[in-house]
Amino acid sequence: MTTSRAAWTPRAGGALAGTAFAGTGELTRLAVRRDRIGLSAAVYVIVALVAGTAYSFRKLYPTQAGRAALAATGESNPALRFLYGRLDGDSLGSLTTWRYGIWAAIFTALMAIFVVVRHTRADEEAGRLELMGSAAVGRDAPLTAGLLPAAAASLVIAGLLWLVLPLVHLPAAGSAALALGIGGCGLTFTGITAVAAQLASTARAARGIALGALGAAFALRGVGDAAGPGGPSWLSWASPLGWVQLARPFAAERWWVLGLPLAVFAAGVALAFRLAAHRDHGAGLLPDRPGRAAASRWLSGPSGLAWRLQRGALAGWAFGFAATFAASGAAAKGVGQLFGTSSALQRAFTRIGGQTAIVNAYLAGLMLLAGMVAAAYATSAVLRLRTEETAGRAEPVLATATSRVRWGLSHLGVAAGGSALLLAVAGLAAGLGYGLRTGSPGPEAARMLGAATAQLPATLLMAGVAVALVGWWPGGAVAGAWTAVGAVVAISLFGAALQLSHWGLDISPFTHVPKLPGGPVAVTPLLWLSLAALALAAAGLAGLRRRDIG
Amino acid sequence: MDAIEVTGLRKSFGRTTALDGLDLTVRAGEVHAFLGPNGAGKTTTIRILLGLLAKDGGEAVLLGGDPWRDAVALHARLAYVPGDVTLWPGLTGGEIIDLLGRLRGRRAGIDPRRRQELTERFDFDPAKKARAYSKGNRQKVALIAALASDAELLILDEPTSGLDPLMEAAFRECVNDERHDGRTILLSSHILAEAEALADRVTIIREGRAVETGTLAEMRHLTRESVDAELARPVRLDGVAGVHDLQADGTRVRCQVDHAVLNDVLARLTEAGVRSLTCRPPTLEELFLRHYSTERATAGAPR
């Protein structure tokens, strides 16, 4: 004991010993160690995304005329402006900024939000900070250490982009402006999340506040960017995501705009430290609302419980589906001209959609995407069974007059009903989004609803795979089910490009789904997919009946 | 009829043997304490009785049925409190109490008047979200849900871990009420005072086997009396058959005496002139220690 204390004290102190920041270095090292893989992956993906886009645009649009056509399409389509923002010119740099400037900033912000919450409120909620707080650690050290990894990772992203973008032949000044804009967005949301973690008393709520702010930022600049002349285009200025393009990288840079994220970061961090000093450990500034003292009529059987546990997540998914597919559907109108400018892209899209008509191919590709994302949702909903089991919450339920099959069906029911709902939302939203722009919302919505429904059997088959794994291989169910989803997505997106054999492509259930809208409606494969889904689910439930629980 | 009848029950997890021929009989209407240290196999036994784990061998009969095959029908007649209560963080305690009652079905559902009474007795706030509850409060959720039910059998796995002494007393009161209502209770515990205060009969388990079972009176009959005497003159008791753990310090004598020779020993003490004498049955603590100290001795503990 004595020796370990002797070893601990000098290290915990250092130059900061005795100050409110004592121990910051140790805590930061611990945080970085816990996150080393996730943070490196996030940094790599974001940098590769932007640099890769710049590189592939050079290949896809080698001529000035092609780039000008793409820029004109992007600039003239409000739905595309909502998704990607405005274009300043038609240089490769401008196109890169347009296509991935805002989205890279969003990914950087997401990284910052999750990392900050993980090291501040989540640690506090789990009681880990209490353990550290009792060691020789200063009052402000945990918050400082919680913010440093996210801030540092944002700066690393900016630094790497600054270095890498000139390597793919983009001008140095614009590269710097784009890099700082994207990294700056990470800093902005580090500051915002720092405040959210003081306000909320749970990690979930803190993430909710910060993600809500990110969603609002996206919507504000989306409306501002989509607005025509005389519209509220000033809204983009109110959004941290808008600043990325308002700094005008590669087109007469407005450097002072890049000071805005730094100001928000500084203000957020200062406010967070003030709030942290004025609250108790473990408490938030927003009060915990008491709930019902007795259960309502709805919370009765296992299905009522499964619905109650999963409804919040489903609502979030449905909202995301509605927004994404409405915007993507609305973008379909100009899509013919957009891809008409690049023969390589045209070929790629025809391949994914399997249709000659580009709009139909685009919409069919959209529905394939909806089917696969819904399969990811269904998988997560089924795996809730396993989470409940390992957390010890299945035991009290199964010790009541609830059979294992009924318990399994309760979550499987949410997964099946939820993915059906998500696909319906995707179809209707895409149909309405496209139909409102072409003047026939009713027929388009009905047509797209049908196309989305055709994805359901394949989606449910993936849920069936997860049930079978939970029943027969509980220890590997989580990893196995997500590997299956990943493999299916990879086959569907890249299988043809990688020239997989027919056998390889046929593994993915989505290969067998008719390419709708546009393609012929084939019922037989859908029946086979449904039967396979049922068989897998039945097998999984049979496995659940015969194995040990816990 | 016996509420629980287990004979020769066996269960292993991979290479570790959790249960190695366990016998356990719980009579209808009794409070039965199931005692053993952590890892002795108490929870495994309970989980087999609840049909959560499949047995590898032996017999287990619960309320006249097969705990694995008839799980659902049997669970409608019992209530269970797990040793480590984990709750759904987003639900309130009150919601969980009602939910567990409804999941058990009509026959073992929650009596609202009893629910109210128990909530007050345990000084419990049912309107808080479960994530805000301490371990003791989580334990109270499961206890109230079980005690407020009409179940004929209560299976309680270390139910007082995490409760403060005041709440422990409230719990004992509740169990005594249940006894008068004629319910059967299986109470697993490693707290001996709890078993002594509550149990009609006791089964002690060690390394997956029952090492002793019976009423406390029966068990004491098998064992020794603790004698502590202050005498006028020193007395020689060493070498007397039936006297154990002798500590003689001048005129002070402490020892354990088999019931068969108690009379003889008392006669020798009175001969030497008794100034003070305490003679009491062993506590369960001492019974318990005896079983586990022999285990430690056979395991080759350094002397």
Q: Residue A440: which residues within 8 A CB-CB, separation 6 or more?
A: none
Q: Minimal Cα distance from A306: which residue of B?
A: B88
Measured in angstroms, the CA of A278 and the nearest CA of chain B are apart by: 21
Range in A65-69, A229-233, A261-265, A414-418 the model is least confident about: A229-233
Query: How does DSSP assign B173-207, residue by residue?
Result: HHHHHHHHTT-EEEEEES-HHHHHHH-SEEEEEET
Q: For residue A311, tell me if it sits in a domain.
A: no
Q: Which residue in B54, B72, B128 is closest to A548 by CB distance?
A: B54
Measured in angstroms, the CA of A248 and the nearest CA of chain B are apart by: 45
B40 and B166 part of one domain: yes
With contact defined as beta carbons under 8 Å apart, do B79 and B151 qualify? yes
- Best mutation target among A300, A400, A410 (most B Cβ atoms within 10 Å) is A400
B153 and B243 part of one domain: no
Average pLDDT of span A425-430: 96
Percent of chain A with pLDDT over 70: 90
Q: For residue A309, tell me if it sits in a domain.
A: no
Average pLDDT of span B278-289: 75
Q: For residue B151, tell me if it sits in a domain.
A: yes
Is beta strand B16-27 parallel, antiparallel or unpaired with respect to B2-13?
Answer: antiparallel
The C-alpha angle A279, B126, A129, rounded to 5 degrees, equals 30
Q: Which residue in A392, A400, A401 is closest to B86 by CB distance?
A: A392
Judge: A302–B103 Cβ closer than 8 Å, yes or no. yes
- In the structure encoding, which two tokens stand for residue A243, read together? 């600043």
Cα gap A429→A445, rounded to integer Å: 7
Query: How does DSSP assign A6-18, residue by residue?
Result: HHHHHHHHGGGTT
**Residue B96: other Cβ atoms inside 10 A:** 25
Residues of chain A neighbouring B149 (CB-CB closer than 8 A): none
Q: For residue B292, tell me if it sits in a domain.
A: no
Cα gap A55→A164, rounded to integer Å: 11
- pLDDT tens-digit series, residues B124-147: 999 998 888 888 999 999 999 999
Q: Indicate left, alpha or beta for B51 from its phi (over 0: left) and psi (-120 to 50: alpha).
A: left
With contact defined as beta carbons under 8 Å apart, do B24 and B210 qualify? yes
- In the structure encoding, which two tokens stand for residue A274, read together? 């003030």
A258 and A334 part of one domain: no
Cα gap A463→A467, rounded to integer Å: 6
In which band, very low, low, confident or very high, does the pLDDT at A355 lie, cut at 50, 70 and 90? very low
Report helix, strand or coil for B161: coil
A273 and A351 part of one domain: no
Stated as kind and residue range, the H or E segment containing A72 is helix A64-76
Show the domain range for B276.
224-281
Q: Which residue in B88, B98, B105 is closest to A294 by CB distance?
A: B98
A244 and A340 part of one domain: no
Q: Which residue in B52, B94, B108 is closest to A398 by CB distance?
A: B52
Task: Look at residue A94 in the predicted model and tell me its pLDDT.
Answer: 93
B41 and B114 part of one domain: yes
Q: For residue B302, tell me if it sits in a domain.
A: no
What are phi and psi for residue B246, nearest 5 degrees?
-70, 130
A335 and A217 part of one domain: no
Show the domain range for A158.
37-277
- pLDDT tens-digit series, residues A118-172: 898 888 877 777 776 666 677 788 889 889 999 999 999 999 999 999 999 999 9
In which band, very low, low, confident or very high, does the pLDDT at B240 lie, cut at 50, 70 and 90? confident
Q: For residue A518, tell me if it sits in a domain.
A: yes
B163 and B215 part of one domain: yes
Cβ-Cβ pairs closer than 8 A, A with B, add up to: 112
Task: Look at residue B62 in the predicted model and tell me its pLDDT.
Answer: 96
CB neighbour class for B14 (10 Å; exposed up to 12, middle 13-18, buried from 19): exposed
Percent of chain A with pLDDT over 90: 50
Q: Higher model confidence: residue A126 or residue B270?
A: B270
Report helix, strand or coil for B96: helix
Residues of chain A neighbouring B94 (CB-CB closer than 8 A): 291-295
Q: Which long-range contacts (CB under 8 A, 24 or more apart) does B259-266 make?
A: B259/B221, B259/B224, B259/B225, B262/B225, B264/B240, B265/B227, B265/B237, B265/B240
B150 and B17 part of one domain: yes
Tell me the sheet residues that pair with A122: none
Q: For residue A450, tell me if it sits in a domain.
A: yes
B245 and B140 part of one domain: no
A345 and A232 part of one domain: no
Q: Minimal Cα distance from A298: which residue of B?
A: B99
With contact defined as beta carbons under 8 Å apart, do A539 and A471 qualify? yes
Provide Rg for chain A, Cα atoms.
26
Q: For residue A299, tell me if it sits in a domain.
A: no
With contact defined as beta carbons under 8 Å apart, do A456 and A524 qualify? no
Q: For residue B299, tell me if it sits in a domain.
A: no
A332 and A266 part of one domain: no
Measured in angstroms, the CA of B104 and the nearest CA of chain A are apart by: 5
Task: Answer yes or no: is pLDDT of B95 > 90.
Answer: yes
Residues of chain B neighbouring A392 (CB-CB closer than 8 A): 82, 84, 86
Task: Answer yes or no: is pLDDT of A10 > 50.
Answer: no
Judge: A399–B52 Cβ closer than 8 Å, yes or no. yes
CATH of the domain at B255: 3.30.70
In which band, very low, low, confident or very high, does the pLDDT at B299 lie, cut at 50, 70 and 90? very low
Task: Look at residue A18 in the predicted model and tell me its pLDDT.
Answer: 67
Calculate the average pLDDT of chain A. 87
Sheet of B78-81: strands edge to edge? B78-81, B153-157, B184-189, B31-35, B201-206, B209-215
Based on the structure, what is the number of domains in chain B?
2
Residues of chain A neighbouring B53 (CB-CB closer than 8 A): 548-550
- Best mutation target among B99, B129, B134, B135 (most A Cβ atoms within 10 Å) is B99
Cα gap A490→A492, rounded to integer Å: 6
Measured in angstroms, the CA of B88 and the nearest CA of chain A are apart by: 7
A238 and A365 part of one domain: no
Task: Answer yes or no: is pLDDT of A184 > 60.
Answer: yes
Tell me the sheet residues that pair with B92: B129
Q: How far is CA A232 from the centre of its chain?
A: 28
Judge: A301–B102 Cβ closer than 8 Å, yes or no. yes
Write down which residue in B219, B239, B260 finishes a domain: B219
Q: Higher model confidence: residue A16 or residue B79?
A: B79
Based on the structure, what is the number of domains in chain A?
2
A251 and A332 part of one domain: no
Task: Answer yes or no: is pLDDT of A532 > 90.
Answer: yes
B85 and B146 part of one domain: yes
- In the structure encoding, which two tokens stand for residue A200, read together? 């909320």
Residues of chain B neighbouring A304 (CB-CB closer than 8 A): 99
With contact defined as beta carbons under 8 Å apart, do A258 and A177 qualify? yes
With contact defined as beta carbons under 8 Å apart, do A312 and A226 qualify? no
Nearest to A348 by CA among A331, A365, A372: A365
**DSSP code at position B299:** T
Residues of chain A neighbouring B84 (CB-CB closer than 8 A): 392
Task: Look at residue B162 in the predicted model and tell me its pLDDT.
Answer: 83
Range in A120-134, A365-379, A420-434, A524-538 the model is least confident about: A120-134
Judge: B82–A396 Cβ closer than 8 Å, yes or no. yes
Q: For residue A14, tell me if it sits in a domain.
A: no
B159 and B43 part of one domain: yes
- In the structure encoding, which two tokens stand for residue A378, read together? 């269904």
Write down which residue in A215, A244, A277 finishes a domain: A277
Q: For residue B23, tell me if it sits in a domain.
A: yes
B214 and B228 part of one domain: no
Q: Which residue in A304, A305, A548 is closest to B53 by CB distance?
A: A548
Judge: A401–B132 Cβ closer than 8 Å, yes or no. no
B82 and B158 part of one domain: yes
Task: Answer yes or no: is pLDDT of A487 > 60.
Answer: yes
Cα gap A183→A211, rounded to integer Å: 18
Is beta strand B184-189 parallel, antiparallel or unpaired with respect to B31-35?
Answer: parallel
B33 and B70 part of one domain: yes
Residue A368: C-alpha distances to residues A458, A517, B85 (Å): 10, 11, 43
Judge: B126–A288 Cβ closer than 8 Å, yes or no. no
B171 and B254 part of one domain: no
Task: Answer yes or no: is pLDDT of A525 > 90.
Answer: yes
A183 and A260 part of one domain: yes
Q: For residue A123, tell me if it sits in a domain.
A: yes
Q: Which residues of A153-186 are buried (b: 16+ CB within 10 A; e: fewer)?
A: bbebbbebbbebbeebebbeebbbbbbbbbbbbb
Write down which residue in A244, A260, A277 finishes a domain: A277
Q: Residue A140: which residues within 8 A CB-CB, separation 6 or more?
A: A20, A21, A24, A273, A276
Q: Is the dihedral of CA A36, A38, A41, A45 positive or negative?
A: negative
Q: Which residue in B52, B82, B103 is closest to A401 by CB distance?
A: B103
pTM of the model: 0.77
Calculate the average pLDDT of chain B. 87
A470 and A368 part of one domain: yes
Task: Answer yes or no: is pLDDT of B67 > 70.
Answer: yes
Judge: B132–A288 Cβ closer than 8 Å, yes or no. yes
Q: Is the dihedral of CA A430, A432, A433, A434 positive or negative?
A: positive
Chain B residues in contact with chain A using a Cβ-Cβ cutoff of 8 Å: 47, 50-54, 71-73, 75-76, 78, 80, 82, 84-88, 90-92, 94-100, 102-105, 108, 126-129, 131-132, 142
Residues of chain A neighbouring B142 (CB-CB closer than 8 A): 396
Q: For residue B287, tell me if it sits in a domain.
A: no
A273 and A332 part of one domain: no
Write down which residue in A250, A277, A304 finishes a domain: A277
A273 and A326 part of one domain: no
Q: For residue B48, tell me if it sits in a domain.
A: yes
- pLDDT tens-digit series, residues A224-256: 888 777 777 888 999 999 999 999 999 989 999
In which band, very low, low, confident or very high, does the pLDDT at B31 lie, cut at 50, 70 and 90? very high
Judge: A399–B50 Cβ closer than 8 Å, yes or no. yes
Q: For residue A486, tell me if it sits in a domain.
A: yes
Cα gap A146→A191, rounded to integer Å: 11
In which band, very low, low, confident or very high, does the pLDDT at A345 lie, cut at 50, 70 and 90? low
Report helix, strand or coil for A498: coil
Judge: B87–A393 Cβ closer than 8 Å, yes or no. yes
With contact defined as beta carbons under 8 Å apart, do A145 and A123 qualify? no
Task: Answer yes or no: is pLDDT of A340 > 70.
Answer: no
Q: Which residue in A202, A299, A398 is closest to B99 by CB distance?
A: A299
Judge: B99–A546 Cβ closer than 8 Å, yes or no. no
In which band, very low, low, confident or very high, does the pLDDT at A346 lie, cut at 50, 70 and 90? low
Judge: B54–A546 Cβ closer than 8 Å, yes or no. yes
Query: How does DSSP assign A229-292, residue by residue?
Result: TTS-GGGGGG-HHHHHHHT-TTSS--GGGGHHHHHHHHHHHHHHHHHHHTS-TT--SSPPPP--
Measured in angstroms, the CA of B73 and the nearest CA of chain A are apart by: 6
Q: Residue A331: which residues within 8 A CB-CB, separation 6 or more?
A: A77, A79, A80, A83, A433
Cα gap A414→A424, rounded to integer Å: 15
